Each structure stands twice: as structure tokens, then as C-alpha cells.
Chain A
Amino acid sequence: MTTTWAQRRKERIDDLAGGRSLTSEAMRRLRRDPVAIVGAVIVGLFVVIAVFAPLLAPHGAAESFPELQADLRPGNIPGAQEGFPLGGDQLGRDFLSRMILASQQTLLVGVLATLIGLAIGIVIGTLAGAFGGWIDTVLMRVTDVLLAIPSLLLAISVAALAASPSQTTVIIAVAIVGVPIFARLLRGSMLSQRNSDHVVAATALGVKRPAVVLRHMLPNAIGPVIVQATLTLATAILDAAALSFLGLGDADPGRAEWGLMLAQAQTYLDVRPALAFYPAFAIIVVALGFTLLGESLREALDPKGRR
């Protein structure tokens, strides 16, 4: 029988399996998984560029140049020239510098939105899953309703509350979309922990309830939530771009962020498509990177190791 690529990948991952803790086992599986490596390399590159963006970018994000503005008129945006390898944008700024600097803002929006959503979701999920009863009922009813609103509509309605759109409103709007997802996931996996042997044992030993919840239940229940957070990073960046496209994005014209740049470039699509293509390509690659990493993380943490 011929071996397929998927089988070879599985054999490679499963090789030398067994005899370790779940976490180290998962880490080892990840290191041997080509899909995880591709995802990690993309995400790693993105983070490095984002962190060192101010050092890497030759010019500032809001800086405009006379040589780029000279030929700037309706129907013409100057392309590559001496000193500006990617040419200028619609305001005569260095496009390359803006692409590099935008990585930082994009990472910031994605990470902050995900972290805020994660933090609130963890609090809600822990309370609901650990204590049950009426707390659980009330919290889960509210998350159900939040889940009942299609995610982009929810983000839109939160962002529309602000008197004027800004980066902060985008981050908050995208963060709130993630809250019910994280909360539900964590509650589910906390519930399955509640009657497990080690929790019963800890309780029987007289460990106080908060300690049981935080030290014994939460660490064991958090796996799926972390996976979801990795996947959410991808959707957060895409949602932020959609909000920008709808005019709910950052109003600061000097700010460089891929979603914002892509949204603004739609007007100049027939003049200089590159202004849209580069940010779009960057978003697609980064979203793909986070998705690949998240999916392989999910597989590595799944003890059944199927699929």
C-alpha cells in the first residue's frame, strides 16, 4: 500500500510516543508536526517583524515625501522608485515602511482583543463551571444571547456605541465577540473536571474550594481555551479589517494597520492594486499561520490523537 502524506505525517508525530506527561507529550508532538512548524514559523516571523518594526522600517508611518507626492493626482499613485522599493501610497507616504509598521499595530489589535476577550471569558467560564447553580444559569443565559447575535453584527453594535471610531473601540468590539466563546468552552471543560478523581481527592484532603478551582481544575481545563485563543487571533485580525471596511475602524489617518490599509485601498483599486494586495496578502498569511498553529495545537492536545 502506498503511504499518503497524511499517514507519513501521523507516523512522524507518533514515533517514540508514550511514557510522558500530557503537556510534554503534546509539545513533542508539536515539534515533530510539519503543519505546526509551518504555522509557528509564520507566526514567529510576524511577531519578530512586528516587535522590531520601528527599527526595520526606513521611514515613519505618517511621514510623506515630496518626491512621492510630485506625481500624485487622481488616477495616478507613483510606484517603485529610488529609495522607495514599494512606491508611495495615496498620501505620498512610503508604502514599504507602512507595511512593516502596520505589522505591529495589527499584532497589537489582534493580541489585545484576544487577551481581553480571553480574560473576561476565563472569569465567566470559571465562575459558571466551578460553582454551578444559579450563577451558572445566569451567566450561561447571557452568553447564549451573545452567541445568538452573529459575531460581526455584535462587533458592529459595540463599535457603533462609540461617539467616534478609534483603535480602542475596534479592540473592545472584537474582544467582546470572543467572550461568550471562551466562557462556554471553559465552562464545558470545567464541568467535566468537577467530578474527576483528582478534584474529589483534593477536596477530600481539605483543600479550600478556591484553591481546588484555581490550582486543580483550571489548569486541567484550560487547554481547549488556549487552542481557541490561537484560532481567535486569526479571526480577530479579520474582524478588525471588516470593521475598518465598514467605516468603524481607526479614524487616525497616520496609523498604519493592515486591515485599515486594505479598507482604505479599495478606493484606489484600479489606480494601484498593490496598495490592497500587499496588506491583504499579509493578513491572509498571518491568519493562516495562527490557524495552522491552533489546529495542530488542538490535535496535539487531543489524547485520542485521531484525525
Chain B
Amino acid sequence: MLRFVLRRLLQVIPTLLLLSLLVFAWLRSLPGGPASAFLGDRATPERIAELNRVLGLDQPVLVQYGRFLGRVLTGDFGVSTITGQPVLTEIGRALPATVELSVAALLIAVLLGIPLGYLAASKRGGPLDISTIIGTLVGVAVPVFFLGYLLKAFFAVELGWFPPSGRQAIALDATDVTGFAVLDGLLTREWDASWDAILHLTLPAITLATIPLAVIVRITRASVLDVMGSDFVRTANSKGLAPGTVRGRHVLRNALLPVSTVIGLQVGLLLAGAVLTEKVFVWGGLGTLLADAITLKDYPRLQALLLLGALVYVLVNLLVDLSYAIIDPRVRLT
């Protein structure tokens, strides 16, 4: 087991190195070169030359890459051209908002998706199954940001059940402990602050959850059908095990293997979907940082978010692979 973990960890290193090389190449192909891209509107020939020297862009490419790698490893992503603050500080401040939103969305997707997929599979071809399939197909086809606006227009503006944007009512003046609004309210026993944060969270989380939900439902359904048709389930049934035992111990346990992989893959989608969702609900997380960086051409910030997004995605999938080895011993041997 330890050898498997170590080998899998070692495999990540070349991927990350290549990723850094790619981002490095991306930076160098920015319009007008990195220096003028970083300076944005403040670019003058003197300042570009100055920054080129500071960034070491007058050095050989290999040296430049080495320095780039060194800076990235020490967490130095430069200064945002919009706010003038270190990019890492900005990311640190915005991170909790996005994590909170993504976790809520993933919870909705998993807690709703697995039971729904299972029920659809066990009543295959029935009305629930058909409507679930149609629902998942339509769910994937709806542009995320349009769905967000739709939910906002109906549930927030028309019915007034939920606040239309933001993370928490400013009037509440909630204490900030961890940056996670819901958790903070619980920690400080400001129950109204927690409740308010949950209300703010609901619509964005539903918006962000639709695509992962649709994917999880479909994979669970397909996987359950696959397992239910296998020999060991027939054996379990024919030796007279209680249907509940077969379902829980034989079908569900085996069917959840591919589902866990897919959940890992959804994390990447969540990061990307967060960009769109946060823009709709003015959420103020990483997605908002990214959207602003695009509009205002803030390349240092864009570069850091790109690296971070890929890094998180790679690490989550590593974790999924490792958990796979715990669930299914066969994986360790291959």
C-alpha cells in the first residue's frame, strides 16, 4: 500500500513540472510579452525595460524558467495589476468563499445524485427513470450562467425567498473568524449570521450543482445497472440473501467505485463553474477574481489562478486514486 502511494505521488511530479512549463510558455506568448502584459495601462518603454530586467527577461530562457519555478514554489506570484496587492494575499482572502460554495454544491450533487441514480436504475424504464434521464440531459444543456440568472430572477427578485447576491447581509456585521460565513456563525453562536449565510448560499450552490448532479446521477445509474447484471449479484440473489443485503453490500458498494472517480473529476468543473456562478451572484470568491482579471487583463492574477486551479485538480484526483486503492484492493496490485 505504501509503495502504491509513493509511486502515485512520484507520478504527479512530472505532471506538475510540465504544467509549470506550459504556464511559463503561456506567459511568454502573452501579447507584447509578459512585461507589458503585467504592467497593463502603465506600460511605458522605460518601465517595460525596467521590469524586463527585474523579471530577468533579458536572461537565457532556461535561467528564466528556473527563476519562474523558484518564484512559484515560494508562492511569489507577483502583484495584481488591478489592486496592486500581492496576488497570493488576494487569493487567500477569496479562497474561503469559493470553497464554501463548491462544498455546498458538491454536497447537493452527491447527496441528491447517488440516491436518485440508484432509484432510477432499480426502477429501470419506469417513469422516475425516464424523467431522471431527461432531467440530466437538459441539466447539462443549460448554460450555467443563464440558469443562475433564471433562479435569481424567480426566487430572489420575484418571490423574494432568497437574497439576490452577496454572501451575507452587511447589516448583520457578522464576526469573521475563518472566512467561511456559515461556519463562523456557528463558532461565534451568531445563529442569525449562519442562517443568513445559508440563505445567500442556496441559489448559487444550486446553480453550481446542476452539472455535477446530472453527471453523478447518470454515472450512478449506469454503474448500478452494470453491477446488477453481474454474476456475483445473481449468485448472491440465488443463494437467498435478503434483497436489502444484496443491494447494500454487493450492488451499492461496487457501483460506487466509478462514482467516486467521477466526483473527483467534478472538482475541476466546480472551479470552472464557479467563475460563471460567482459572476451572476456577485459572490466575491476566486471566480470573481478570475472574471475581473479577464476583463481588466490582470495577467499575474490570471497566471496564479490558472496554476492553482490545475494544482487543486491534480491533487484531488490523486486523492481519489488513493481512496480507490483503499476501497478496492485490486487497484494496488496493478
B window 127-143: CB within 8 A of A: 129-130, 137-138, 140-143
Partner of B272, one of A7, A150, A247: A150
Residue of A nearest to B298 (CB): A160
Q: A288: CB under 8 A from chain B?
A: yes
A window 138-154: CB within 8 A of B: 141-142, 144-146, 148-153
List the A side residues contacting B229 at CB < 8 Å. Answer: 306
Residue of A nearest to B291 (CB): A246
List the A side residues contacting B279 at CB < 8 Å. Answer: 245-246
**Cβ of B224 to closest chain A Cβ, rounded Å:** 11
List the B side residues contacting A149 at CB < 8 Å. Answer: 19, 268, 306, 309-310, 313
Residue of A nearest to B267 (CB): A150
A window 148-169: CB within 8 A of B: 148-153, 156-157, 160-163
Q: B244: CB under 8 A from chain A?
A: no
Q: B198: CB under 8 A from chain A?
A: no
Q: B38: CB under 8 A from chain A?
A: no
Contact assessment for B313 and A156 in the assembled complex, using a CB-CB cutoff below 8 Å:
no
Contact assessment for B141 and A291 in the assembled complex, using a CB-CB cutoff below 8 Å:
yes
- Number of residue pairs spanning A and B whose beta carbons lie under 8 angstroms apart: 132
Contact assessment for A291 and B140 in the assembled complex, using a CB-CB cutoff below 8 Å:
yes
Q: B124: CB under 8 A from chain A?
A: yes
Q: B29: CB under 8 A from chain A?
A: yes
The dominant DSSP class at the B interface is helix
Q: How far is the CA of A269 from the CA of B15 in the complex (A)?
A: 43
Interface flags, A183-223, vs B, CB<8A=1, else 0: 00000000000000000000000000000000000000000
Q: B276: CB under 8 A from chain A?
A: yes
Partner of A270, one of B26, B130, B153, B306: B153
Q: A287: CB under 8 A from chain B?
A: yes
List the A side residues contacting B30 at CB < 8 Å. Answer: 161
Q: A47: CB under 8 A from chain B?
A: no
Interface flags, A234-253, vs B, CB<8A=1, else 0: 10001001100111100000
Q: If the complex has contacts A145-B18, A161-B29, A241-B143, are A153 and B153 also in contact, measured as CB distance less than 8 A?
A: no
Q: If the complex has contacts A153-B306, A291-B137, are A6 and B130 also in contact, measured as CB distance less than 8 A?
A: yes
**Cβ of B157 to closest chain A Cβ, rounded Å:** 7
**Cβ of A75 to closest chain B Cβ, rounded Å:** 15
Interface flags, A260-292, vs B, CB<8A=1, else 0: 001100100110010010001001110110011
Q: A5: CB under 8 A from chain B?
A: yes
Q: B111: CB under 8 A from chain A?
A: no
List the A side residues contacting B302 at CB < 8 Å. Answer: 157, 160
List the A side residues contacting B124 at CB < 8 Å. Answer: 4, 6
**Cβ of A152 to closest chain B Cβ, rounded Å:** 3
**Cβ of A82 to closest chain B Cβ, rounded Å:** 30
Q: If the complex has contacts A141-B18, A145-B22, A307-B225, are A276 and B313 also in contact, measured as CB distance less than 8 A?
A: no
Q: B31: CB under 8 A from chain A?
A: yes
Q: If the complex has contacts A157-B302, A157-B306, A247-B295, are A6 and B275 also in contact, measured as CB distance less than 8 A?
A: no
Partner of A284, one of B26, B142, B314: B142
**Cβ of B255 to closest chain A Cβ, rounded Å:** 14
**Cβ of B27 to closest chain A Cβ, rounded Å:** 10
- Interface size counted on chain B using CB atoms at 8 A: 53
Q: How far is the CA of A124 from the CA of B86 in the complex (A)?
A: 39
Q: If the complex has contacts A5-B130, A6-B130, are A156 and B149 also in contact, measured as CB distance less than 8 A?
A: no
Contact assessment for B125 and A145 in the assembled complex, using a CB-CB cutoff below 8 Å:
no
Interface flags, B255-295, vs A, CB<8A=1, else 0: 00000000000001101110110010000000000110011
The dominant DSSP class at the A interface is helix
Residue of A nearest to B145 (CB): A245
- Interface size counted on chain A using CB atoms at 8 A: 47
**Cβ of A64 to closest chain B Cβ, rounded Å:** 25
List the B side residues contacting A161 at CB < 8 Å. Answer: 26, 29-31
Q: If the complex has contacts A4-B124, A148-B314, A288-B137, are A242 and B144 also in contact, measured as CB distance less than 8 A?
A: yes
Residue of A nearest to B20 (CB): A145
Q: If the complex has contacts A6-B130, A160-B294, are A242 and B137 also in contact, measured as CB distance less than 8 A?
A: no
Q: B126: CB under 8 A from chain A?
A: yes
List the A side residues contacting B15 at CB < 8 Å. Answer: 141, 144-145, 148
Contact assessment for A292 and B18 in the assembled complex, using a CB-CB cutoff below 8 Å:
no
Interface flags, B301-322, vs A, CB<8A=1, else 0: 0100110011001100100000
**Cβ of B229 to closest chain A Cβ, rounded Å:** 8
Residue of A nearest to B140 (CB): A291
Q: If the complex has contacts A7-B125, A242-B276, A280-B146, are A234 and B141 also in contact, measured as CB distance less than 8 A?
A: yes
Q: B183: CB under 8 A from chain A?
A: no
Q: If the complex has contacts A5-B130, A6-B125, A150-B268, are A266 and B313 also in contact, measured as CB distance less than 8 A?
A: no
**Cβ of A206 to closest chain B Cβ, rounded Å:** 37
Q: B222: CB under 8 A from chain A?
A: yes
Q: B243: CB under 8 A from chain A?
A: no
Q: How far is the CA of A255 from the CA of B111 in the complex (A)?
A: 43
**Cβ of B115 to closest chain A Cβ, rounded Å:** 20
11 contacts between A and B (CB under 8 A): A4-B124, A4-B125, A141-B15, A145-B310, A148-B310, A151-B268, A153-B272, A153-B275, A262-B143, A273-B153, A307-B225
Please provide the 8 A-B residue pairs with the shortest distance between their CB atoms, ordered closest to farther.
A4-B125, A6-B125, A152-B272, A150-B268, A287-B141, A163-B31, A150-B272, A149-B310
